[in-house]
Amino acid sequence: MKIELNNNKVYLDNHGVKKEIHPFWLRERVNGDKFVDIKTKQRLFDPTQIRENIKINDINLSNNFLEVTFNDGASTKLSIQELIEEFSNNNFIKLIKKIEWDSTLDDLNIFEFKENLFEKEEMYNALVNFYKYGFVIFKNVPTKDNFLINFANSIGSVRRTNFGEFFNVKSKPNPNDLAYTSLPLAPHTDNPYRNPVPCIQMLHCIENKVKGGLSTLVDGFTVTEKLKKDFPNYYKILCEIKVRFQFIDQSVVLEDWAEMIKLDENGNFKQVRFSPRLDFVPLMDSDKLDLYYSARKKISELYNSDKYKVQFRLSEGDLLMMDNYRLLHGRTTYNANEGNRFLQGCYIDYDSTEGKLKHLKRKFNL
Ligand SMILES: [Fe+2]
Q: State the distance from the centre of ligand 1 to the C-alpha of 327, rounded, in angstroms.
A: 11
Separation between Cα atoms, residue 195 and residue 208, nearest integer Å: 33
* 360 vs 356: CA distance, rounded Å: 6
**What is the CA(264)–ligand 1 centre distance, in A?**
24
Distance 140 CA to ligand 1 centre (A): 22
CA of 288 to the centre of ligand 1 (A): 30
pLDDT tens readout for residues 225-240: 999 999 999 999 999 9
Ligand 1 centroid–CA 169 distance in Å is 10
The alpha carbon of 292 and the centre of ligand 1 are apart by a number of angstroms equal to 24
Conformation bin of residue 222: beta by default, left when phi > 0, alpha when psi is -120 to 50: alpha
Per-residue pLDDT for 261 more than 80?
yes
pLDDT value, residue 173: 64
Residue 345 CA to ligand 1 centre (angstroms): 9
pLDDT of residue 89: 73
Instruction: Show the DSSP H helices in the chain as ranges.
Output: 23-27, 80-88, 92-95, 121-133, 147-155, 220-230, 232-240, 286-304, 350-364
CA of 232 to the centre of ligand 1 (A): 28
Tell me how far the alpha carbon of residue 141 lies from the centroid of ligand 1, in angstroms.
21
Give the distance (Å) from ligand 1 centre to CA of residue 235: 24
* pLDDT tens digits, 78-127: 999 999 888 887 788 999 999 999 999 999 999 999 999 999 999 999 99
> In the predicted model, what is the mean pLDDT of the chain?
95
Distance 329 CA to ligand 1 centre (A): 6
Contact assessment for residue 275 and residue 201, using Cβ atoms and an 8 Å cutoff:
no
Which of 363, 49, 340, 23 is CA-nearest to residue 211? Answer: 340
Torsion of CA 298, 301, 307, 312, to 10 degrees: 140
In sequence order, what are the residues at sequence separation of 6 or more whose Cβ sits closer than 8 angstroms to the Cβ of residue 220?
189, 272, 274, 303, 326, 327, 328
Q: Mind listing the domains of the chain with CATH numbers? A: 2-90 (3.30.2020.30), 95-364 (3.60.130.10)
List CB contacts of 147: < 8 A, sequence separation 6 or more.
Answer: 141, 204
Check if the beta carbon of residue 262 is closer than 8 Å to that of residue 272: yes
pLDDT number for residue 179:
72
Distance 187 CA to ligand 1 centre (A): 8
Q: How far apart are the first and last CA of the chain?
A: 22
Helix axes of 286-304 and 232-240: crossing angle, nearest 10 degrees: 110
Kindly report whether the global pTM for this prediction surpasses the value 0.85.
yes
* Side chain identity, residue 232: P
Please write the tens of the pLDDT for every residue from 148-193.
999 999 999 999 999 999 999 987 667 777 777 788 999 999 999 9
CA 331–ligand 1 middle distance (angstroms): 9
